[in-house]
Structure 1
Amino acid sequence: MSGQEFKRALGYANAAFDLLKRSGIPPYPQFYELLYTYATGVNPSLNSRINAIFREGHAPSADLAEALYNEFLKSDVNDRITDVSERMHARIEAVHDAIDTAMTTASAYSGSLQSASGDLEQDISTEALQSLANRLLLETRVMQDTNRALEQKLEASRDDIAALQRDLDDVRRESRLDPLTKIANRKSFDEGLEAAVAEAQSGHQPLCLLIADIDHFKTFNDTYGHQTGDQVLRLVAMTIKSNIKGKDLAARYGGEEFVAILPSTDLEGAVIVAENVRRAIQAKELLKRSTNEKLGRITASFGVAAFRPSDTPSSLLERADRCLYAAKHAGRNKVVSENDLAEQHGPKDGVSAA
């Protein structure tokens, strides 16, 4: 974890504890998670609900916090996976029952055939032979009916299991997306960055990481409201996504921060991508949908870092974060790469900057 990321997470934690203390809500893990999530702003539906509660002056309580936690954070994805799993289990049990029935019928049929074989080895009357033939014909029809029922159940189960698999794939896909912006979420980014670093280490391919932060977003959000703020977040997310390609991955990192993993891209190319995104964001004039009021333009600051052979995901992210921090301090609406930082600070102790 980079120094800036640590400060950011600590700020969210302090805000969550402050809300717990001021509201008189017990600091149980689920309530801390609820208010920590509220502090980060990554769940817009949750924030809208809590803000409405604050505006209406409702007294906070453990029961209210429990209800909000169950509604927004008790994992809907896990519930859906459980539902799919239970349906899959029920279908498999039905198939097993059908197979057991077929095996029992087949075993009985096999016993009847063996018995008939023994009878045929002896001298039997025409009437007895006719009776044996009728019995075998009847049992053969029962066996056919059982097999037909098994085939039907297997066919239905195949279709059901295919549908369940599609449901499961949808749930998994949704679990990797940010619900507001519909680009990759933090979990998906963490996994993607780890895989990209491992691939860059093994294949000696370039890799860059871009991190972006919307300038003055909190002020904009407070001035025009959360719905307009959500519109801005979606706009920035789609702008980043439309300017990357191939195996690149755009993700919402948290709050108003976004990241993009750029495999097979050197630092110069990554800076070009960042500049394209920066200009595209700045070029868009915002309108308030409800009133068509012009809200002006937004800007974003960018930090770009390139993979080094000794890098871990954390060290690469930390360098990109330092570049973002420098872009903010240089006046915002800028792209700063680690080469820019090296030029600003110059070589130290006789060692040239890489």
Structure 2
Amino acid sequence: MSEQEFKRALGYANSAFDLLKRSGIPPYPQFYELLYTYSTGVNPTLNARINAIFRNGDSPTTNLAETLYNEFLKSDVNDRMSSVSERMHARIEAVYEAIDSAMTTANAYSGSLQSASGDLEREISVAAMKELADKLLSETRRMQETNRSLEQKLEASRDDIASLQRDLDDVRRESLLDPLTKIANRKSFDEGMDGAIAEASETGVPLCLMIIDIDHFKSFNDTYGHQTGDQVLRLVAMTLKSNIKGKDLAARYGGEEFVAILPSTDMEGAVIVAENIRKAIQAKELLKRSTNEKLGRITASFGVAAYRPGDTPATLIERADRCLYAAKHAGRNRVISESELEAMQAQVEETKDVSAA
């Protein structure tokens, strides 16, 4: 974890504890998780609900926190996935039972055939022959009926399992999307980083990481409200996604930060992509939907880092983060890459040397 990421997480944690203390809610793990999630802003529906409570002047209580936790965090995608898995398990068990029943009938039929074979090897009367034929005919019809029943059950099970598989696929896709912006979430980004770094390490193809932070987002959010803030987040996400292609992955990293994994892209190409996105964001004029009031333009700062042999996701993120913070300190609304940051640092050192001399 980079120093900047640690500071962000610590800020969210302090905010959560402060809310717990001010509300008189005990700092149990589930309540801490609830208010930590609120502090990050990754669940817009939860934030809207809590903001409404604060606006109405209601005093948060333990019971209310419990209700919100059960509604927004306890019944999550994992529960839905578990439910689908249980239904699939039950359906597979039903298939096994149908097959076991059919096998029992088949074994009984095989036994009848073997018994009849032994009878036919001996001389038997016409009446006994007729009785044996009737018995075999009855057993055969029973076997046919069992087979038809098994086929019907297997057909129904096949359709049910296919439907359940589609449900599982939908839940998994949903679990990898940020609910507000509809682009990849942090979990999806983490998986994508692991895969991209493994590929770069094995093949030697270039890989770059871009981190984006919306400039002055907190003050914008405080001035115009969370709904307008959510509109800004969606706009940036849409702009980011529409300006990357192929195997690139755009994701919401947390709060007002976004990331893009750029496989098969060198530093020069990544900087060009970042500049295109920066200009596209700046070019969009924001309107307040309820009044059509012009709210001006938003800007974002960018940090770009390139994969180096031996890098882990943490080390690559840390270097991109340093570039992002350099862009912030350099006046915002700009892209700074590793190579530019190194040149800036070298220039600072040169200036120090000259001053010392």
Structure-2 residue corresponding to 1:20 = 20
Structure 1: distance between partners of 2:115 and 2:239: 78
Within a 5 Å distance, the mapping from 1:163-312 to structure 2 comes to 163-312=163-312
Check if 1:81 corresponds to 2:76: no
Structure 2: distance between partners of 1:304 and 1:160: 47
Check if 1:142 corresponds to 2:142: yes
Aligned AA for 2:218? K
Q: 1:123 offset after TM fit, Å?
A: 1.9
Query: Over residues 199-228 of structure 1, what are the superposed CA-to-partner deviations in whole Å (9 max), with x where a residue is unaligned?
Result: 111211111110001111111111211111
Extract unaligned runs of 5+ from structure 1: none
Structure-1 residue corresponding to 2:355 = none
Extract unaligned runs of 5+ from structure 2: 351-357
Structure-1 residue corresponding to 2:33 = 33
The 4+ residue runs of structure 1 with deviation greater than 3 A are 347-350
Structure 2: distance between partners of 1:348 and 1:139: 95
Q: Structure 1 residues 349 and 288, CA, compared in 2 at 3 Å: closer, same or farther?
A: closer
Within a 5 Å distance, the mapping from 1:328-339 to structure 2 comes to 328-339=328-339
Aligned AA for 2:239? T
1:346 is paired with a residue of what secondary structure?
A: helix
Q: 1:310 offset after TM fit, Å?
A: 3.0
Alignment RMSD, CA only?
1.4
Q: Which moved more, 1:121-130 or 1:294-303?
A: 121-130
1:211 is paired with a residue of what secondary structure?
A: strand
Query: Over residues 171-190 of structure 1, what are the superposed CA-to-partner deviations in whole Å (9 max), with x where a residue is unaligned?
Result: 11110110111111011111
Q: 1:73 offset after TM fit, Å?
A: 1.0
Aligned AA for 1:71? E
Q: 1:347 offset after TM fit, Å?
A: 7.3
Structure 1: distance between partners of 2:83 and 2:332: 47
Q: 1:344 offset after TM fit, Å?
A: 1.0
Check if 1:346 corresponds to 2:332: no
Query: Over residues 268-321 of structure 1, what are the superposed CA-to-partner deviations in whole Å (9 max), with x where a residue is unaligned?
Result: 111100100000001011111122111111111111111111322111111111
Structure 2: distance between partners of 1:211 and 1:145: 65
Structure 2: distance between partners of 1:50 and 1:348: 46
Q: 1:75 offset after TM fit, Å?
A: 4.4
Structure 2: distance between partners of 1:104 and 1:308: 63
Structure 1: distance between partners of 2:104 and 2:310: 64
Given the two structures, how large is their TM-score scaled by the length of structure 1?
Answer: 0.96
Structure 2: distance between partners of 1:246 and 1:295: 34
Sequence identity of aligned pairs in percent?
Answer: 81
Given the two structures, how large is their TM-score scaled by the length of structure 2?
Answer: 0.95
Number of aligned pairs? 350
